[in-house]
Structure 1
Amino acid sequence: MTGLWRQRPGERAGRWLALALCLALGACGARGGVEDALDVPEPQAGVDVQRLTLALRVDPTELAVSGRATLRVKHPNDLGTLVLGLSSAMQVDLVRVNQQPVQITHEENALAIPVRGDSSLVEIVYGGTPDAGLYREETEAGGTVLWTDGWPTRTAGWMPGVHHPSDPVVWDLALEVPTSWEIAASGTPEAETLEDGWRRGRFVTSEPAPLYTLAWAAGDFAVTEQAGSVPIRHLTLRGDSLAVGALERTPAILDTLEAMLGPLPYGRFATVEVPLVYAGMENAAAPFFQTQLYGEASGALEEVMVHEAVHQWWGNDVVPADWRHLWLAEGPATYLTAVLYERLDGRTAFREQLVRMALLSRDDARRRLVPDALASPEAMLSGTVYQKGGSFLHILRQTVGDAAFFAALRATLVAYDDAPLATASFQAELEEASGVDLDALFETWAYSTNLPTLKTRWDRGTRTLSWELSGASGGLSGIGLELYIAQDDASGVYVPLDAGTATLTGGKAPEVYPVGWIADVR
């Protein structure tokens, strides 16, 4: 999920922040959004859903589904009862375990199933009208669109499973909709058939992904294929087909990310236009993007696409150990978007990204990246995990150096491939790659509410700005951090943080912005 938006540095922070948070948190409209997230069971220790095969028929008119889900599950010998999340709005007609019918209970979005041994093949037949996760809307660009949006637990509205980032699954979806509808979904599209008025498409993910990143859509889509090192396709609503030109650099973007992080986890990439509330959603192999972006001329669509593309590695392939560690998905997606523009467009573009990344409210800046406790996943949705998380990564990169930083990223992706990643484990990978003790930095930026203060003084007579750091500023000096100084009557300049002073050309009091790091600027 993203709230990134392209804007020139030096413009007022409040305007950019309002738009960014509107896009990221789903505050721009009433359809979908995280406000209808479901309370679902917590993961059970030792339970690992490895594969989910789902046959789903959808009636778009009634917004009703009928499904058959088969889950291959490993679990402890003494588990006794497997508990899965599935909305109570779904009527469960039959459950089999290892091909034998069993008696279950289904209350408060929890489906309790008796199991034995250390593994089970669980088959669930169900249906109904979802109360979350499935949405329909009339659009000017392409008629009626039907789509799913699963973050953080809304896939439980129409699909059984463990709705938590720590248990990614391989999914095999067979989706049926009326023939007048076209289908897009997470995974690799297999053969499509038309029979008795129904269109049946099959999609399979080559690697596991969290349930909230598994999604599908149906509508009147125009499909544009792009040549690249992996198969690429763009699905736009019919009336927006020309807007796909904004995504012409997708092959170069994916190649750049692969050079940085390793092979694309899902082996192919698609973009899908739907009426999302927020800007984008990182659905595995097929991110979904907000319809409004396709009418913008600001470059926002490409930038949001980069953010969701990074998520294919960070968030989908390597998954957060729990919601408290969500910054390990959103921080890399935010910061590596800036790095991508550094590699494609140069240092000026990188600096502009960093200035915007470090613009966030004082409350968000002071909030812990890894909270001690969490009332709900939705409580994590703020500029903290996105922008503070990205800024912390920039500080870490400057501290350990490029070679060690990118080596640690790649090592983490290998060591935690399809496995839950906690902040302490990520720190260990960075320390292993660099040989640097990072306890103090992680204590300050990940686990505390401390924030350095940057005190500035403007001498109008000499046109000199001076500054000094105080408070939680250990580790920020001597690592090449910068300030961006903007004046209304002069061009902005970048200066080293360690310089302490700068003589400016303009006469008006300047505005000071940390470049990719966070401080309380006074």
Structure 2
Amino acid sequence: MKRTRLLAIPAGAAAVLLSATAAGAAAGPGAPGIGDPYYPDYGNGGYDVSHYDLALKYQPATDTLQGTARITARATQDLTRFDLDFLLDTRSVTVNGRRAAFTTSGAHELVITPARALRKGAPMHITVTYSGVPSTKKYNGYVGWAKTPDGAVAAQEPESAWWWFPSNDHPLDKATYDITVTVPEGLQTISNGEPRGTRTAGGWTTDRWHEAKPEATYLATLAVGRFEVHRGRTKSGLPVITAYSPDVAPALLKAAKASVETTPEVVDWESTVFGPYPFTSIGGYVPNVTSHFSLEEQTRVFYSPAAFSTGVRPYLIVHENAHQWFGDSVSLTTWRDIWLNEGFATYAEWMWSEKTGQGTAAEVARKTYDSYPADDPFWQVKAGDPGPGEHQFDDAVYDRGALTLQALRATVGDAAFFTVLRTWAAQHRYGNATTAQFEALAEKISGKDLGSLFQTWLYTPGRPAAPPQQVTLKSTPKSWKAIRQTRTLESH
């Protein structure tokens, strides 16, 4: 999924990289960025967040959000000052129970000076109270908060947290979440993880949500409105929560339900390919928004109604849920490695085509290769380093990324290839990883030197001289049209 203009690193090793941002520094301020080469001012240095506890009250009539964020973190350096990424109006800040000074800097930095300097390794209990009208806040011309006729939705990439809670906004600093949301009686909320109770009093309804597994900030989602909520369980007992705005156009709503309700079947199949599902619930929601994209919010995928304008979309469900392994559980270390998310999810579509007899992954790969002429600008984008902004979600990241995986499969064989996928998901579960680590793992498991393969498919501009596998197409794969529709709405 891309940002649109809306009106082996194990989990515990993230702190090491966070510390590296300020390695060797004496007591002083934390860096105003985590060190991402594409987005230097995203995230922050000097600390590592472990948990967000958010208490929110939202009034749709005025689009007013009031919040208290209680953030549990640890200092990764001797720290005199630190930043949070945030856009709303801050009222007060405390650090370890003492009032802290604060100001704003740049476009999205809340700069906090605690009453006492923090020693490296010291706990940080940060409380921020705030309010604002999220839909009025813009960054680089876009808004990461979508106002709906009866509520709102927070779902964007690579950033959306700024519009509704202060955070260390980069996938490198993942955390668990408790989200409590109070809205006018008659409305509902949707968020990540599992519901922990609902209470209505005095004309307001309060819902509690809990996500127990580490989650990147951009994967935290919130929707407020009227929803038809379906609850169930998979055959293995995994809770399933899906939700639909009843105000979505009937034809779109029918196709959305027919698609999203297949999530348990899709996740069951993906678990046989990628290894055990990494989280404790699954599902998705379809709010009444006008956008066209979908986004792999952790455990609760966001789908725009327009995604179902062509009917039932099985490949979209496959794509977004593959992200639960590739992107959500195993997260990128820097945004340069976005193909590790999108190329893998795209290849999951090709494998679903193979599984359902609609065309083998090799046939879909060959059709994809042939569909881009040698002089197409598509081949000038380096899937392994596409660049920031709009380039980050270029078609090449998806399709050339998936072609890289097909080339790998053709080179090492099925046994080694699927061992690589399962091992990758297991080794980096709940953590972060890089392309270099993926290449090293593939070489270790296959016993082959794969440097040339990855260099050719990920980093060399121009169309490779040969397709990823020598397959002669007798006809276009039956899945081709549906897969291209998924590509169009997923990446544009």
Alignment of 1:226-375 (within 5 A): 226-228=232-234, 229=236, 230-239=238-247, 240=250, 242-243=254-255, 244-274=257-287, 275=289, 277-297=291-311, 299-300=312-313, 302-343=314-355, 345-346=356-357, 348=359, 350=361, 353-354=364-365, 357-358=368-369, 359-360=371-372, 362-371=376-385, 374=387
Structure 2 match to 1:64: 64
Structure 1 match to 2:145: 134
TM-aligned CA distance change 1:40 to 1:148, over 3 Å:
farther
Per-residue CA deviation, residues 155-209 of structure 1 (Å, 9 max, x unaligned), is 2122111222222221111011111211111121111111211111111112111
Quote the offset at 1:246 in angstroms: 3.2
**Which structure has the larger Rg over C-alpha atoms?**
1
Quote the offset at 1:268 in angstroms: 1.0
Per-residue CA deviation, residues 394-423 of structure 1 (Å, 9 max, x unaligned), is 111111112211212222222222222111
Alignment of 1:367-446 (within 5 A): 367-371=381-385, 374=387, 376-446=388-458
Question: For residues 276 and 384 of structure 1, what CA distance do their matches in structure 2 show?
Answer: 26
Structure 2 match to 1:498: none
Whether contact under 8 Å (2:294, 2:307) holds in the other structure is no
Whether contact under 8 Å (1:40, 1:85) holds in the other structure is no
Structure 2 match to 1:164: 170
Secondary structure at the aligned position of 1:238 is classed as coil
Per-residue CA deviation, residues 101-151 of structure 1 (Å, 9 max, x unaligned), is 11122222111223502231111111111213222233xxxxx34211231
TM-score, length of structure 2 as denominator length: 0.80
Whether contact under 8 Å (1:51, 1:169) holds in the other structure is yes
Identity of aligned residues (%): 25
Per-residue CA deviation, residues 30-51 of structure 1 (Å, 9 max, x unaligned), is 634xxxxxx8833345632111
Question: For residues 364 and 294 of structure 2, what CA distance do their matches in structure 1 show?
Answer: 18
Quick check: 1:176 aligned with 2:178? no
Quote the offset at 1:427 in angstroms: 0.7
Per-residue CA deviation, residues 210-235 of structure 1 (Å, 9 max, x unaligned), is 11111111222112234413221321
Secondary structure at the aligned position of 1:267 is classed as coil
TM-aligned CA distance change 1:352 to 1:483, over 3 Å:
closer
TM-score, length of structure 1 as denominator length: 0.76
Structure 1 match to 2:92: 94
Question: For residues 43 and 405 of structure 1, what CA distance do their matches in structure 2 show?
Answer: 34
Per-residue CA deviation, residues 235-284 of structure 1 (Å, 9 max, x unaligned), is 11225554413344322211111111222222111110022523311111
TM-aligned CA distance change 1:181 to 1:349, over 3 Å:
farther
Whether contact under 8 Å (1:96, 1:122) holds in the other structure is yes
Secondary structure at the aligned position of 1:324 is classed as helix
Structure 2 match to 1:482: 471
TM-aligned CA distance change 1:66 to 1:189, over 3 Å:
same
Whether contact under 8 Å (2:192, 2:211) holds in the other structure is yes
Quick check: 1:200 aligned with 2:206? yes
Read off the aligned partner of 2:130 and give its amino acid letter.
Y
Structure 1 residues 42-51 or 404-413, which shifts more? Answer: 42-51
Structure 2 match to 1:456: none
Secondary structure at the aligned position of 1:205 is classed as strand
TM-aligned CA distance change 1:70 to 1:249, over 3 Å:
same
User: After TM superposition, which residue ranges in structure 1, 4 or more long, deviate above 6 angstroms?
Assistant: none
Whether contact under 8 Å (2:57, 2:65) holds in the other structure is yes
Q: Which runs of 5+ in 1 are unaligned?
A: 2-23, 33-38, 139-143, 454-468, 487-491, 495-522
Question: For residues 186 and 493 of structure 1, what CA distance do their matches in structure 2 show?
Answer: 36
TM-aligned CA distance change 1:127 to 1:234, over 3 Å:
same
Q: Which has the higher contact order (CA 8 A, sep 6+)?
A: 2
Structure 2 match to 1:466: none
Structure 2 match to 1:41: 41
TM-aligned CA distance change 1:264 to 1:276, over 3 Å:
farther
Question: For residues 200 and 351 of structure 1, what CA distance do their matches in structure 2 show?
Answer: 50
Quote the offset at 1:357 in angstroms: 4.6
TM-aligned CA distance change 1:349 to 1:427, over 3 Å:
closer
Read off the aligned partner of 2:282 and give its amino acid letter.
F
Structural RMSD (CA): 2.4
Whether contact under 8 Å (2:43, 2:85) holds in the other structure is no
Whether contact under 8 Å (1:323, 1:377) holds in the other structure is no
Whether contact under 8 Å (1:231, 1:268) holds in the other structure is yes
Quick check: 1:79 aligned with 2:87? no
Per-residue CA deviation, residues 311-354 of structure 1 (Å, 9 max, x unaligned), is 111111111111111111111111012213322x1262646644
Quote the offset at 1:493 in angstroms: 8.8
Structure 2 match to 1:17: none
TM-aligned CA distance change 1:93 to 1:202, over 3 Å:
same
Question: For residues 223 and 439 of structure 2, what CA distance do their matches in structure 1 show?
Answer: 38
Whether contact under 8 Å (1:164, 1:210) holds in the other structure is yes
Question: For residues 219 and 325 of structure 2, what CA distance do their matches in structure 1 show?
Answer: 12
TM-aligned CA distance change 1:76 to 1:310, over 3 Å:
same
Quote the offset at 1:386 in angstroms: 0.9
Read off the aligned partner of 1:137 and give its amino acid letter.
T
Whether contact under 8 Å (2:199, 2:205) holds in the other structure is yes
Read off the aligned partner of 1:236 and give its amino acid letter.
Y
TM-aligned CA distance change 1:127 to 1:493, over 3 Å:
closer
TM-aligned CA distance change 1:188 to 1:221, over 3 Å:
same
Read off the aligned partner of 2:91 and give its amino acid letter.
D
TM-aligned CA distance change 1:45 to 1:444, over 3 Å:
farther
TM-aligned CA distance change 1:81 to 1:192, over 3 Å:
same
Q: Which runs of 5+ in 2 are unaligned?
A: 8-38, 138-142, 479-492
Secondary structure at the aligned position of 2:473 is classed as strand
Give the one of 96, 116, 119 matched to 2:118.
116
Structure 1 match to 2:490: none
Quick check: 1:210 aligned with 2:221? no
Question: For residues 413 and 395 of structure 2, what CA distance do their matches in structure 1 show?
Answer: 26
